Amino acid sequence: MRTLIATSFISLDGVVEAPGGEEGYRNTGWTMNSVEFDPAAYELKGTEQGEASAMLLGRKSYESFSAVWPSMTEEFPQYNAMPKYVLSTTLREKDLVDNWGETSILRSVADVARLRAGEGGPISIHGSGTMVRSLQEHQLIDQYNLLVFPVLLGAGKRLFSQSDLAAQKLELVDSVAYPNGIQKNVFKVQR
């Protein structure tokens, strides 16, 4: 069985919307505007890139990332080379970019469950808040890699489902507080 790892920049109040400057959100770019840059706080991203064997994205995140990441050969060499899966009911094969490696479209949460049940290494999930909430509701997420920023954003899309779910116990397996206020928290889901 593969491990599904949801990785996210998240505000202290749980918002994950537009951390890097995406349009349409009042507090867009909040990761850059809320703290002083500390490269040590982002080392988790390099670790994730080295550990993942594939990437899973929702349609909107795929469309955003595929427009930029393929040209970022120094920043994301392993992500750019690894297989990608996109969960979407509307994306078509002709909508996929041809310069970002092997990409497969999954049509349902059941397809994600089959992918997770198969052979292979960890699958890293970036962005894709709507998909992460759905996978959480179906108990398919195995680990959360969170960089928690010391900022309250109020309104915005949240990482975790607000549905009435049974409690899901997490084990904190790694945690670091950086001088700029960012906290790294890595949680494994207990089953």
pLDDT of residue 23: 83
pLDDT of residue 189: 98
pLDDT of residue 140: 98
pLDDT of residue 75: 86
For the chain, where are the alpha helices, taking DSSP H only? 30-34, 43-51, 59-66, 77-81, 109-117, 129-137
Task: Tell me the average confidence (pLDDT) per consecutive run of 10 residues in the chain, 191 residues long.
Answer: 97 94 89 92 91 96 92 88 97 95 97 98 95 97 98 95 94 98 98 94
pLDDT of residue 119: 96
Q: Are 159 and 129 in contact (CB under 8 A)?
A: yes
Q: What is the CATH number of domain 4-189?
A: 3.40.430.10
Sequence ranges of the domains in the chain: 4-189
pLDDT of residue 125: 97
Alpha carbon distance 128, 55 (integer Å): 11
3-class secondary structure, 15: strand
